[in-house]
Chain A
Amino acid sequence: MKAIHFTLNGKKASCEVQDKELLLHTLREQFSLKSLKEGCGIGECGTCTVLIDDEPHYSCLTLASKINGHDVKTVEYLGDAELLHPLQKAFIDSGAVQCGYCTPGMLLSAYSLLIKNGDPSDDEIKEAISGNLCRCTGYIQIIEAIRNAAGLCKCKS
């Protein structure tokens, strides 16, 4: 067991983890962050995406012990039902959500893109979410939502 200290969704967090414990399991079990999903367990589908220092990572491939001292964000960071992030709002308005299983990971990959690039091209958006599989939507309304949110985020800043 090893104690780790990190920032989780903007707040200080600590816990004890096993040497081989995966971040996905730590966050789901110790912090009840059930928005992270295990769609494949081998880093191919992106449903377990988290942001580590604002970069998307597959939490199913990340050892929990490696996040000591880092900043970790899940979809809960973006906003809640009372105060949605413009990206979340855009996902709703564009019809970018169907079964919803890929949605949290998709939002995080999109958020990571938008904080680096406030005016991404469609190709840049497609590339940014290419590690997040979605079986329902055909991605088009997701891409539209990210494009629209980029405009909104810019207006805000």
Chain B
Amino acid sequence: MYIGNETNRIDALDKVVGRPIYAEDLSVPGALFGCVFRSVRPHALIRRIDASAALASSGIVKILSYRDIPGENIFGIIKKDQTYLAEDRVRYVGEPILIVLGQTEEAARKALRLIEIEYEDIDVISDPFISGGSRTLIHEKGNLLSHRKVIKGDIEKGFDEADVIVEHTYTTAWLDHAFMETESGVGYPDNKGRIVVVSSTQNIHYKQKEISKLLAIPEENIKVIQATTGGGFGGKLDVTVEGFLALSVYHAKRPVIMRYTREESFLSNTKRHPLYIEYKTGARKDGAITAIKVSIIGDTGPFASYGETVCLRAAVHATGPYEIPNVHVDSKMFYTNNPVSGAMRGFGVPQLAFAHESQMDEAASMLKLDPFDIRIKNALKKGSLTATSQALHNSVGIVETLKKIEPYWRKRTRESGKTGFGLGCMYYGIGNTGVSNPANACLTITGDGKIALHTGACEIGQGSDTVLAQILQEALGLKMDDIVLVRGDTDTSKDAGSSSASRQTYISGGAVFDAAKKMRQYLDEKGFYKGRSIRDIYNSEADKKLLEHNGFFDPPTTPVDPETSKGSPYATYAFATHMTEVEVEKETGSCRVKKVYAAHDVGRAINPKNIRGQIYGGIAMGVGFALMEEFIPGKSGSFDNYYMPTSMDMPDVEAFIVEDQEPTGPFGAKGLGEPALIPQAASIVNAIKDATGVRAFELPCHIERLKILLEKAKR
């Protein structure tokens, strides 16, 4: 057995000796350094730019503007509305305007300060509630980016049947991914005259397509390579340095390096969407939830990025992992002149989990029910209909995750008056929402007698390389030494889609499994399983094309109805329950997370050690989301004033793996990356309520906010 083992990561050895080459570590002789000149105004017309002094300064080679773009000055993962370089107008603080290419980083950064620009300010829209009705348009077609609804049953009837109604408003802040490695990359022309970009990224094939449009050069003349990547969490899905590098190489015809400073990363990188969530729950005396009505207002900043995805995904997941007969969710995403918000671990679902899990506890409290009992009563089961009326037939492990936690919940005891316990549950659709999102994988037999796995899936630290290798080993019955991984290069792999939406184990894993089935049959026919060597098979095969076997997997989904979102947006869902113990110092408002019990239904655990790593990392991010992290535009700019969890903030964690196998997944596996984070903040907020009697409706519930809540409660 190769799956289910405590296998070590295949990249760990290199990483503990400091050997991996991140983009910034590439030494390219003769490379220029590229810096971005950015807007300091949130909304303004550009009247005049004078870059002459900068261009004349020592060590400056070129300064590029939008006029230097040979193709289209536009990109975006879904809706293409974001300019690489501003034309006549800027729409947020930090928007790129020019690229300065210098002989050295120092020269380029110095020259930025010599650029003079004259702005004419326009009305600034800093609030999504004002955005929709404003006459100031951020884009021609209006300020509403997306409006989605989820409608199931009869909402009025549902509330009529309820004995209690719980109604609250929840708000969340901007969060930064704060991956340890900032955005960086290197571009260069290769000896075939193509443009090569090596970068820190979550999706090489998407970047290749965007660069092709930017430069009006066919895709085959653009090559994108993933350097070792120091974390992503959604923040390296959009085009960051890649477009600028490609444009710079196009003009300079020599290598160019770019690396954002931490301050620049904070300023320019997409953020977690702040959401404003009005949530009304109706429940019967026995705890059955009869109806929910939810209104979500989101702020995506001036460009779409993943705003539409978040708008829909938040709506679809608004119920939480519960079967609720009557559902009405209205979700709107507006443009503003605030920072661009995009993909961040969970696409809006962590925000909604904070709301639905708080509601669950409030309903339990009104009905004098145990928070555990109300959850298990409403939990999705085999045969349940989700909010989109999708019938769940397989792999519905929410009840099992609850049961893993139940013994700890039942025997919980308060050590002191400071202690409190809270639950958080979640479900999460694996892969993109209601759209085809396939992955390819290719297996070949090499001349030195190995099986090569070609994949475009990006290892960003989450462990996909190891998991895909394990799936391949299991499917073919091969040792690691018999496998080579050829990955992260558009020349050698077909599109595997992004490393996002917790999709690579399930989808790329499925593609690897598909290719391995074909390879296994081939190897079997050639006598490999009767003792013939792979090298011998290679040598004896006259037609080398027969040595290649392609795999493909696209999860079976259906598009959702544009009016009601009825449909099967995901082929499978992950489920989880977290229980958290906190200790609150009521005099100061300081909250310490002491212990977390976390149970996750992953379908099948390919690599339990990696799974625990994802769970622990998700919990850390959840602690940050609940208690400390908040990006405040204009104020947050570095780790000096953006606080995220250190080792001192981490609770003890006990992780439990539930395996309710998914028939469409490789060996039954689903995904885990985002689920690990999603219920954590909710369980902390519920634990704080249990400890203190006060409930946070606004995240982060940092020390000042909690102190104020405690003071107000005294009166």
A residues bordering B, Cβ < 8 Å? 32-35, 37-42, 44-45, 47, 74-76, 78-81, 84, 88-89, 91-95, 97-104, 107, 125-127, 129-143
9 chain-A/chain-B pairs, Cβ below 8 angstroms: A75-B18, A76-B17, A79-B17, A91-B16, A92-B13, A94-B609, A100-B14, A126-B650, A130-B646
Query: Closest CB-CB distance, A20 to chain B, in whole Å?
Result: 11
Q: Provided the pairs A81-B14, A97-B16, A98-B462 are in contact, do residues A135 and B262 lie with their beta carbons within 8 angstroms?
A: no
Most buried by A among B15, B638, B640: B15
**Are B181's CB and A101's CB within 8 A?**
yes
Q: How many A-B residue pairs have CB under 8 A?
A: 175
Q: Provided the pairs A107-B16, A127-B648, A138-B617 are in contact, do residues A47 and B9 lie with their beta carbons within 8 angstroms?
A: no
User: Residues of B contacting A139 with CB < 8 Å?
Assistant: 616, 620, 646-647, 650
Query: Closest CB-CB distance, B503 to chain A, in whole Å?
Result: 18
Name the contact of B648 in the complex, choosing from A38, A93, A130 (C-beta under 8 A).
Answer: A130
User: Residues of A contacting B648 with CB < 8 Å?
Assistant: 126-127, 130
User: Residues of B contacting A98 with CB < 8 Å?
Assistant: 231, 461-463, 613, 617
Name the contact of A101 in the complex, choosing from B9, B16, B22 (C-beta under 8 A).
Answer: B22
User: Residues of B contacting A142 with CB < 8 Å?
Assistant: 647
User: Residues of B contacting A44 with CB < 8 Å?
Assistant: 638-640
Indicate with 1 or 0, residue by residue over B26-64, a CB within 8 angstroms of chain A CB atoms: 010000000000000000000000000000000000000
Query: Residue B20 at the A interface, CB < 8 A?
Result: yes
User: Residues of A contacting B616 with CB < 8 Å?
Assistant: 137-141
**Are B617's CB and A35's CB within 8 A?**
no
User: Residues of A contacting B644 with CB < 8 Å?
Assistant: 133, 135
Bound CA–CA A101/B648 (angstroms): 20
Most buried by B among A41, A75, A137, A142: A137
Query: Closest CB-CB distance, A21 to chain B, in whole Å?
Result: 11
User: Residues of A contacting B640 with CB < 8 Å?
Assistant: 42, 44
Q: Provided the pairs A81-B13, A95-B612, A141-B613 are in contact, do residues A42 and B620 lie with their beta carbons within 8 angstroms?
A: no
**Are A74's CB and B18's CB within 8 A?**
yes
Indicate with 1 or 0, residue by residue over B174-211, a CB within 8 angstroms of chain A CB atoms: 00011111100000000000000000000000000000
User: Residues of B contacting A138 with CB < 8 Å?
Assistant: 613, 615-621, 645, 650, 653
- Residue on B nearest A44 in the bound complex, by CB: B639
**Are A133's CB and B613's CB within 8 A?**
no
**Are A136's CB and B617's CB within 8 A?**
yes
**Are B180's CB and A39's CB within 8 A?**
yes
- Residue on A nearest B265 in the bound complex, by CB: A40
Q: How large is the interface on B (under 10, 10 to 19, 20 to 34, 35 or more residues)?
A: 35 or more
User: Residues of B contacting A131 with CB < 8 Å?
Assistant: 646
**Are A40's CB and B262's CB within 8 A?**
yes
Query: Residue B19 at the A interface, CB < 8 A?
Result: yes
User: Residues of B contacting A141 with CB < 8 Å?
Assistant: 609, 612-613, 616
Bound CA–CA A98/B182 (angstroms): 16
Name the contact of A135 in the complex, choosing from B15, B17, B20, B231 (C-beta under 8 A).
Answer: B231
**Are A41's CB and B261's CB within 8 A?**
yes
User: Residues of B contacting A125 with CB < 8 Å?
Assistant: 647
**Are B180's CB and A102's CB within 8 A?**
yes
**Are A39's CB and B182's CB within 8 A?**
yes
User: Residues of A contacting B16 with CB < 8 Å?
Assistant: 75, 84, 88-89, 91-92, 97, 103, 107
Query: Closest CB-CB distance, B426 to chain A, in whole Å?
Result: 17
Query: Closest CB-CB distance, B608 to chain A, in whole Å?
Result: 9
Name the contact of A143 in the complex, choosing from B17, B230, B610, B647 (C-beta under 8 A).
Answer: B647
Bound CA–CA A97/B459 (angstroms): 13
**Are A81's CB and B19's CB within 8 A?**
yes
Name the contact of A129 in the complex, choosing from B9, B178, B613, B647 (C-beta under 8 A).
Answer: B647
Query: Closest CB-CB distance, A29 to chain B, in whole Å?
Result: 9
Query: Closest CB-CB distance, A37 to chain B, in whole Å?
Result: 7
Bound CA–CA A41/B262 (angstroms): 8
Query: Residue B84 at the A interface, CB < 8 A?
Result: no
Bound CA–CA A44/B48 (angstroms): 38
User: Residues of A contacting B365 with CB < 8 Å?
Assistant: none
Interface residues of B in 125-159 (CB under 8 A from A): none
Bound CA–CA A130/B643 (angstroms): 13
Query: Residue B172 at the A interface, CB < 8 A?
Result: no
- Residue on B nearest A98 in the bound complex, by CB: B461
User: Residues of A contacting B652 with CB < 8 Å?
Assistant: 140
- Residue on A nearest B622 in the bound complex, by CB: A138
Name the contact of B613 in the complex, choosing from A35, A39, A137 (C-beta under 8 A).
Answer: A137
**Are A35's CB and B231's CB within 8 A?**
no
Query: Closest CB-CB distance, A80 to chain B, in whole Å?
Result: 5
- Residue on B nearest A34 in the bound complex, by CB: B25
**Are A95's CB and B17's CB within 8 A?**
no
Q: Provided the pairs A39-B262, A42-B638, A102-B180 are in contact, do residues A130 and B15 lie with their beta carbons within 8 angstroms?
A: no
Bound CA–CA A1/B641 (angstroms): 35
Q: Provided the pairs A88-B17, A137-B613 are in contact, do residues A126 and B647 lie with their beta carbons within 8 angstroms?
A: yes
Most buried by B among A47, A76, A88, A134: A134
Q: Provided the pairs A44-B639, A133-B646 are in contact, do residues A101 and B230 lie with their beta carbons within 8 angstroms?
A: yes
Bound CA–CA A137/B13 (angstroms): 17
Interface residues of B in 636-668 (CB under 8 A from A): 638-640, 644-648, 650, 652-653
Bound CA–CA A127/B79 (angstroms): 46
Closest 4 A-B residue pairs measured CB to CB? A35-B18, A99-B461, A138-B616, A101-B230
Bound CA–CA A35/B16 (angstroms): 10
**Are B261's CB and A100's CB within 8 A?**
no
**Are A45's CB and B620's CB within 8 A?**
no
Query: Closest CB-CB distance, B392 to chain A, in whole Å?
Result: 30
Interface residues of B in 268-295 (CB under 8 A from A): none
**Are A99's CB and B613's CB within 8 A?**
no
Bound CA–CA A98/B25 (angstroms): 18
Other than A97-B16, A143-B647, give 6 A-B pairs with Cβ distance below 8 A: A89-B16, A92-B13, A99-B231, A100-B461, A101-B231, A137-B617
Query: Residue B460 at the A interface, CB < 8 A?
Result: yes
Q: Provided the pairs A40-B639, A102-B180 are in contact, do residues A92 and B229 lie with their beta carbons within 8 angstroms?
A: no
Bound CA–CA A31/B615 (angstroms): 38
**Are A100's CB and B228's CB within 8 A?**
yes
Q: Provided the pairs A35-B18, A75-B18, A95-B9 are in contact, do residues A140 and B650 lie with their beta carbons within 8 angstroms?
A: yes
Query: Closest CB-CB distance, A76 to chain B, in whole Å?
Result: 6
Query: Closest CB-CB distance, B628 to chain A, in whole Å?
Result: 13
Bound CA–CA A136/B181 (angstroms): 11
- Residue on A nearest B460 in the bound complex, by CB: A99
Bound CA–CA A80/B14 (angstroms): 9
User: Residues of A contacting B25 with CB < 8 Å?
Assistant: 34
Query: Closest CB-CB distance, A89 to chain B, in whole Å?
Result: 8
Bound CA–CA A93/B616 (angstroms): 16
User: Residues of A contacting B231 with CB < 8 Å?
Assistant: 98-99, 101, 135-136
Q: Provided the pairs A41-B262, A99-B461, A138-B653 are in contact, do residues A92 and B8 lie with their beta carbons within 8 angstroms?
A: yes
Name the contact of A103 in the complex, choosing from B8, B15, B653 (C-beta under 8 A).
Answer: B15
